[in-house]
Amino acid sequence: MEEMKNRRLLDAYIKKYHIDACFSDISLYYPHMTLARFPRRTFLYTDSEFARYIYFMVEGRYKVYGNVDSGKRILYRFCQAFSILGEMEFILGPEERRDDNSVEMVEDCVALLLDYGEIKNQLRSDPVFLFFMCENLVEKSGYFGNMQLVNNLSSAQEKVARYLKNSSNAAGFFRENQVIAAEQLDISYRHFHRILKKFVENGWLRRVDGGYQILEADIVSLSSREQKTEN
């Protein structure tokens, strides 16, 4: 994490995402806010020092996955700005923080950090902030319920297409570790590689040094339509 000591930029993000509307009076909490940059492929929650923050993600994309007992990592979702992290740690306390979830940056990210170490009781008495926290938790709960249904109904090919789309950079280059990608999608590496080969044959991907490049922006819908045709 790299702290960004730029109050003007901080104010710009507050205005852009209406973060002041998340509190009864933002001036009470403003002194405890700062900006931080998280480079691509770094993790949140790997150090207990950062468990006392609420993260308002204002730039970039990241992914959330679970670490199951078998040692595998199962992908939960891809997220992008504007989004919130740290609600459960705030509600339950860092001592109850679970280590079975990981948050990894897909690209360079910027977050507005609210250090609630000295103002936790004050925040817990703020009805506007508590309502905001509840809204976010309800949204996440609904999302995970819907995604569980989507994943159950999706083929491995459709899952790979979505993963490629969400993990590639702005130019469409995918250079993630393919073994880890297959593991997160809960499919074998051989199956993952066969699907990539098929996408190349279809003209949707091309091999490049260190990975692949997406040639079809609609690779997800193309994959879905092909599966329906084959079925």
Q: Does one domain contain both 147 and 177?
A: no
| Tokens linked to 204 | 């949707």
Share of the chain above pLDDT 90, in %: 39
Question: What pLDDT, on a 0 to 100 scale, did the predictor assign at position 116?
Answer: 92
First to last CA, the chain: 47
Could you say which of 134, 151, 168 is where a domain stops? 151
Q: Are residues 32 and 131 in the same domain?
A: yes
* Same domain for 89 and 144: yes
The mean per-residue pLDDT over the stretch 59-88 comes to 80
Higher pLDDT, 42 or 231: 42
CATH number at residue 177: 1.10.10.10
Asked if 74 and 146 sit in the same domain, the reply is yes
163 and 144 both lie in a single domain: no
pLDDT of 141 reads: 76
Q: Which residues of 197-225 are buried (b: 16+ CB within 10 A; e: fewer)?
A: eebeeeebbeeeeebbebebeebbebbbe
Residue 50 CB-half CA count within 13 A: 18
Kindly indicate the confidence band of residue 143, based on its pLDDT and cuts at 50, 70 and 90: low
Domain match, 174 and 219 both: yes
CATH number of domain containing 50 = 2.60.120.10
Both 143 and 163 in one domain: the answer is no
Whether the predicted pLDDT of 153 surpasses 80:
no
Express each pLDDT in 17-64 by its tens digit: 999 999 999 999 999 999 999 998 888 764 455 568 899 999 998 988
Same domain for 119 and 9? Answer: yes
What gap in Å lies between CA 173 and CA 56, rounded to an integer?
27
Query: Is residue 42 within 8 Å of residue 104, measured between CB atoms?
Result: yes
Distance CA 147, CA 133 (A): 21
Structural domain of 32: 2-151
Confidence (pLDDT) at 103: 86
Q: Are residues 50 and 146 in the same domain?
A: yes
Share of the chain above pLDDT 70, in %: 84
Tell me 5's DSSP state. Answer: -
pLDDT in the model for residue 184: 79
Contact 35, 113 (CB under 8 A): yes
Domain count, the chain: 2
| Pair (145, 44) in one structural domain | yes
pLDDT band at 145 (very low <50, low <70, confident <90, very high): low
- pLDDT of 70: 61
Last residue of a domain, one of 97, 117, 151: 151
pLDDT of residue 190: 92
The whole-number pLDDT of residue 154 equals: 76
Same domain (yes/no): 170, 134: no
CB of 1 within 8 A of CB of 35? Answer: no
Instruction: Give how far the C-alpha of residue 221 lies from the chain's centroid of Cα atoms, to the nearest Å.
Output: 22
Distance CA 175, CA 171 (A): 12
Give rounded-to-5 percent helix, strand, coil for the chain: 45, 25, 30
Whether 83 and 186 map to the same domain: the answer is: no
Question: Pick from 105, 133, 151: which residue ends a domain?
Answer: 151
CA distance 74 to 151: 12
Average pLDDT over residues 128-134: 93
In whole angstroms, give the CA distance from residue 34 to residue 141.
28
The whole-chain average pLDDT of the chain stands at 85
